[in-house]
């Protein structure tokens, strides 16, 4: 089974200058749609779950669904990632479930709103790195805060990442990847107009720490055709707007290697389900609407893998194990 450390996946992406999508999941249909897209496009893929997703599925259910994707696709390179871990205990839980990568979001306090000081963020992140690297597990940190809302996370103030602080943060903590705040935002209602992202921040951090994998959160593009479909069949999402693909592609050129996508797949599923309910009101078998929802996720993620440049890179390298990475960290 080619379940790989996320560090290897992002390092390889850095060598050839492409980005790897990290797709949030909550159920079987999302996972199946994502891996189908990865198989068809020949893409390595990061499947990630938030604390909320793990809670929703009572931990073990989602674990086995994710492991089923790995077992069913032995030739695909798959990293399992914890999204927005808030403390060391969350990270320990994810590692015990078999995750190959974890994020510690030390940018906010446990209320999900109040920004932590640089020093507090650095200390909690360093403690997670020290723990996770013992198991060969990749660690993603975050510096700066994003706008919008994701589950219960809604920063009280938006703080863009300072490149010199980022360099200091990475040197102190030893993180493998860093989520940076450059003006992106969580959720469907990211912007009121086409955004101008602070890509100079990405460029400067990449120059200061060239071997570091940078991460873009809040990167769903909120395709207007998906919004139109949801609204056509009874939804109410006026004015929803996301990050243009062109901006993401520019960020990849400047050093972004991991791109988080959550809202877009939710929209794709919701539009497909609403269409079935509206056009075929006699349907009541969950397979009749979850099947089209799964297909909608597949179609969406396939375009992401092509747009991010991930397509065709699954077979570029041989997978290493957590044990291999553990020894590398020890050295």
What is the per-residue pLDDT for 11?
Answer: 98
Q: Compute the 3-state secondary structure of the chain and give helix, strand, coil in percent, each to the nearest 5.
A: 50, 15, 35
* CB under 8 A, 24+ apart: contacts of 26-29: 26/53, 26/56, 26/57, 26/62, 27/57, 27/65, 28/65, 29/269, 29/290, 29/291, 29/293, 29/294, 29/297
Which band of pLDDT confidence, cut at 50, 70 and 90, is reported for residue 13?
Answer: very high
**In terms of residues, how long is the chain?**
331
pLDDT digits (tens, 9 = 90+) for 71-98: 999 999 999 999 989 899 999 999 999 9
What is the per-residue pLDDT for 217?
Answer: 86
Cα–Cα distance between 209 and 212 in angstroms, integer?
6
Name, in order, each residue with C-beta under 8 angstroms of 302's C-beta and a sequence gap of 6 or more: 37, 40, 41
* Nearest CA-CA partner of 102 in 111, 120, 89: 89
Identify the CATH number of the domain defined by range 6-313: 3.20.20.70
Q: For the chain, what percent of residues have pLDDT higher than 90?
A: 78
Average pLDDT over residues 303-326: 97
The tokens of 306 are what? 């092509």
pLDDT at 146 over 80: no
- The active-site residue, picked from 75, 83, 285, 324, is 83
Asked whether the beta carbons of 75 and 113 are under 8 A apart, the reply is no
User: pTM score, two decimals?
Assistant: 0.93
pLDDT at 156 over 60: no
307 is catalytic: no
What is the per-residue pLDDT for 183?
Answer: 79
* Nearest CA-CA partner of 165 in 146, 182, 191, 143: 143
Domain boundaries, the chain: 6-313
In the block, residue with structure tokens 């509206």: 278
Which band of pLDDT confidence, cut at 50, 70 and 90, is reported for residue 114?
Answer: confident
pLDDT at 185 over 80: no
Cα 220 to Cα 118, 243, 290, 310: the distances in Å are 27, 6, 22, 16
- 165: helix, coil or strand? helix
Cα–Cα distance between 45 and 38 in angstroms, integer?
7
Asked whether the beta carbons of 61 and 24 are under 8 A apart, the reply is no
pLDDT at 190 over 60: no
In the block, residue with structure tokens 């079935």: 276
Cα–Cα distance between 94 and 88 in angstroms, integer?
10
Cα–Cα distance between 259 and 203 in angstroms, integer?
16
pLDDT at 145 over 80: no
What is the per-residue pLDDT for 12?
Answer: 98
pLDDT at 159 over 80: no
Asked whether the beta carbons of 308 and 259 are under 8 A apart, the reply is yes
The tokens of 138 are what? 């990749």
């Amino acid at each position: 089974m080619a379940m790989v450390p996320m560090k290897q996946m992002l390092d390889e992406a850095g060598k050839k200058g492409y980005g790897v999508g990290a797709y949030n999941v909550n159920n079987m249909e999302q996972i199946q749609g994502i891996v189908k897209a990865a198989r068809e496009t020949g893409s390595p893929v990061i499947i990630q779950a938030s604390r909320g997703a793990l809670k929703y599925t009572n931990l073990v259910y989602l674990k086995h669904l994710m492991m089923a994707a790995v077992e069913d696709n032995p030739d695909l390179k798959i990293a399992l990632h914890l999204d927005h871990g808030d403390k060391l205990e969350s990270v320990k839980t994810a590692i015990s479930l078999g995750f190959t990568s974890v994020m510690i979001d030390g940018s906010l306090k446990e209320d999900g709103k109040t920004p932590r000081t640089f020093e507090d963020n650095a200390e909690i992140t360093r403690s997670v790195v020290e723990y996770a690297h013992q198991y060969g597990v990749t660690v993603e940190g975050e510096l700066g805060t994003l706008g919008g809302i994701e589950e219960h996370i809604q920063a009280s103030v938006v703080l863009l990442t300072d490149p010199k602080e980022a360099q200091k943060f990475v040197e102190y903590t030893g993180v493998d990847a860093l989520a940076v705040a450059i003006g992106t935002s969580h959720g469907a209602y990211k912007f009121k107009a086409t955004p101008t992202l602070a890509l100079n921040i990405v460029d400067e951090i990449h120059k200061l720490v060239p071997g570091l994998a940078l991460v873009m959160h809040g990167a769903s593009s909120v395709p207007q055709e998906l919004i139109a479909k949801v609204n056509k069949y009874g939804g109410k999402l006026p004015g929803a707007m996301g990050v243009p693909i062109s901006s993401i592609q520019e960020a990849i050129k400047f050093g972004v290697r991991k791109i988080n996508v959550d809202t877009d797949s939710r929209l794709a599923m919701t539009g497909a389900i609403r269409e079935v309910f509206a056009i075929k009101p006699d349907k009541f078998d969950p397979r009749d609407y979850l099947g089209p929802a799964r297909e909608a996720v597949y179609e969406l993620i396939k375009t992401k893998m092509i747009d991010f440049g991930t397509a065709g890179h699954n077979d570029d390298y041989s997978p290493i194990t957590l044990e291999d990475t553990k020894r590398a960290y020890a050295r």
